[in-house]
């Protein structure tokens, strides 16, 4: 059986794809105890070291070496935090740099250093890094204080024995009902995989899906395909916001938010809502948009009207009240308070998926955000055995589940990549008894 270690493992969502392909995760490292506790429950045969990788790197090397018992390490999966690399994180970083409140280089990006020290010591045949596409252009301070590109740093640190590349992958192209682009960086010292890279210029298998579908590929799996037949929910009251299905419930919306959302048409955002005065119903009020300010930063317009140009009624658009009673448009981009499309994969599920003000997080037609059950299915957890329990048997809180969904990758997205790499190693792929692949979509 293929042997692996997993770094920045969180609750082990990506590692489900390893287990599905007969990979034995000997050891996992996770910073936060609540995530590590979920990992211990779901992967009882793996050793879990909880804590900062900087402090634990020598113990990780030592414990992994013991568990390997002089055998080779086949695979190392590392999914370091992406806040310093993501578009959102970089935007915050830019603002901080301009105001002298943040360092120019996010220290979280330097977590690649202890990660590579572990790789150099254990010499895995395959190393997989998963992160946001912005990692391609991320700069770090190396050990000498030099500013270097992170991919170049990986290549130089691993040395000539390893070959690799980084490629942006859209997981919807592999049948995941979620548009989630990630940078998959693979390095290998295996000769068969090196030859594959030289011939095909890629470690990624052929895509199986495309937006419209064609003779060679299936169409993208849509939101409707996955959650369209579930019992309806509504954020108006306790009676309408719950169901008998575990995790299929939503928060009750306050009256203002409910009005904004209930008047939002399919695939539209609440910032563009038109007049609902029955005697007017004027529908030509200016819609929301964005423009670049003096610093060249793209920001939402603050001139979007809140009152109907024809009858002067308050439009059902997101607003707040000043202390003096003045009503002002709420700050937000055109994607805030916006409905998902039924017939496309969902937008990327983030840690803010429970908030209607977040990016494209409103249900396609019902007046609410997604339920956790819907989010879990869109994240492809319905294909795997995973229980939201801690090592002591306690159930995970909903907020933790939401955070882990936003932090992790859909396991059905990384699975074909892992299967493809292992097949080139001619390793047997057999699922352990604890894993049961459910009916695919």
Q: Provide the 10 A C-beta neighbour count for residue 387.
A: 11
Alpha-carbon distance of 10 to 401, in angstroms, equals 11
Instruction: Return the structure tokens found at 88.
Output: 């959102």
Average predicted confidence (pLDDT) for the chain: 90
Per DSSP, the three-state class of 247 is coil
3-state secondary structure of 29: strand
- Burial class for 426, CB neighbours closer than 10 Å (0-12, 13-18, 19+): exposed
- Reading the block at residue 317, the tokens are 């658009």
More confident residue, 301 or 168: 168
Beta-strand runs (E) in 117-260 = 126-131, 139-141, 147-149, 163-170, 181-188, 209-210, 218-219
Q: Report the sign of the C-alpha dihedral through residues 62, 67, 70, 76, in that order.
A: negative
Percentage of the chain modeled with pLDDT above 70: 88
Q: What is the pLDDT of residues 141-196, one digit of tens each?
A: 888 878 888 999 999 999 999 999 999 999 999 999 999 999 999 999 999 999 99
Sign of CA dihedral 342, 347, 351, 352: negative
Contact 398, 372 (CB under 8 A): yes
Contact 9, 30 (CB under 8 A): yes
Adjacency order of strands within the sheet including 163-170: 47-50, 24-30, 3-7, 75-78, 126-131, 181-188, 163-170
Per-residue pLDDT tens digits for 306-327: 999 999 999 999 999 999 989 9
pLDDT tens across 378-410, in order? 999 999 999 999 999 999 999 999 999 999 999
> End-to-end alpha-carbon separation of the chain, Å?
28
Segment 208-215 shows an average pLDDT of: 97
3-state secondary structure of 314: strand
According to the model, what pLDDT value does residue 427 have? 53
Identify the structural domains of the chain with CATH numbers, from first to last: 3-217+379-424 (3.40.50.150), 231-370 (no CATH)
Q: Which residue has the tokens 């994969």?
A: 345
Written as six digits, the tokens of 147 are: 């500013």
């Amino acid at each position: 059986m293929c042997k692996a270690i997993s770094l920045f493992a969180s609750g082990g969502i990506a590692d489900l794809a390893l287990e599905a392909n007969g990979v034995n995760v000997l050891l996992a490292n996770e910073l936060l105890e609540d995530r590590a506790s979920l990992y211990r429950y779901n992967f009882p045969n793996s050793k879990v070291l909880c804590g900062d990788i900087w402090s634990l790197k020598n113990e990780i090397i030592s414990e992994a070496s013991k568990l390997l018992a002089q055998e080779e390490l086949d695979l190392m999966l590392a999914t370091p935090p992406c806040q310093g690399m993501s578009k959102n994180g970089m935007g915050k970083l830019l603002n901080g740099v301009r105001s002298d409140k943040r360092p120019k280089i996010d220290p979280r990006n330097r977590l690649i250093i202890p990660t590579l020290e572990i790789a150099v010591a254990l010499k895995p045949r395959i190393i997989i890094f998963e992160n946001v596409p912005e990692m391609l252009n991320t700069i770090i301070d190396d050990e000498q204080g030099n500013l270097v590109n992170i991919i170049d740093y990986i290549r130089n640190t691993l040395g000539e024995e390893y070959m690799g590349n980084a490629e942006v992958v859209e997981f919807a192209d592999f049948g995941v009902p979620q548009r989630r682009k990630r940078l998959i960086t693979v390095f290998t010292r295996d000769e068969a995989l090196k030859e594959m890279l030289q011939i095909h210029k890629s470690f990624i298998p052929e895509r199986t899906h495309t937006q419209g579908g064609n003779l060679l590929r299936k169409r993208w799996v849509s939101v409707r395909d996955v959650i369209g037949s579930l019992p309806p929910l509504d954020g108006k009251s306790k009676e309408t916001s719950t169901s008998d299905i575990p995790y299929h419930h939503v928060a009750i919306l306050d009256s203002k938010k409910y009005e904004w959302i209930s008047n939002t048409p399919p695939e539209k955002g609440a910032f563009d809502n038109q007049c609902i005065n029955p005697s007017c119903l004027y529908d030509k009020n200016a819609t929301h948009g964005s423009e670049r300010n003096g610093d060249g930063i793209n920001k939402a317009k603050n001139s979007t009207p809140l009152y109907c140009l024809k009858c002067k009624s308050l439009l059902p658009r997101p607003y707040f009240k000043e202390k003096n009673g003045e009503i002002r448009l709420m700050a937000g981009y055109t994607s805030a308070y916006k409905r998902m499309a039924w017939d496309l994969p969902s937008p990327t599920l983030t840690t803010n998926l429970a908030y209607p003000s977040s990016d494209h997080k409103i249900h396609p037609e019902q007046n609410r955000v997604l339920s956790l059950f819907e989010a879990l299915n869109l994240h492809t957890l319905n294909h795997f055995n995973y229980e939201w329990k801690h090592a002591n048997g306690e159930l995970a809180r909903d907020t933790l589940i939401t955070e882990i969904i936003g932090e992790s990758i859909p396991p059905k997205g990384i699975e074909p990549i892992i299967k493809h790499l292992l097949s080139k190693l001619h390793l047997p792929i057999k699922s352990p008894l604890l894993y049961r692949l459910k009916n695919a979509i």
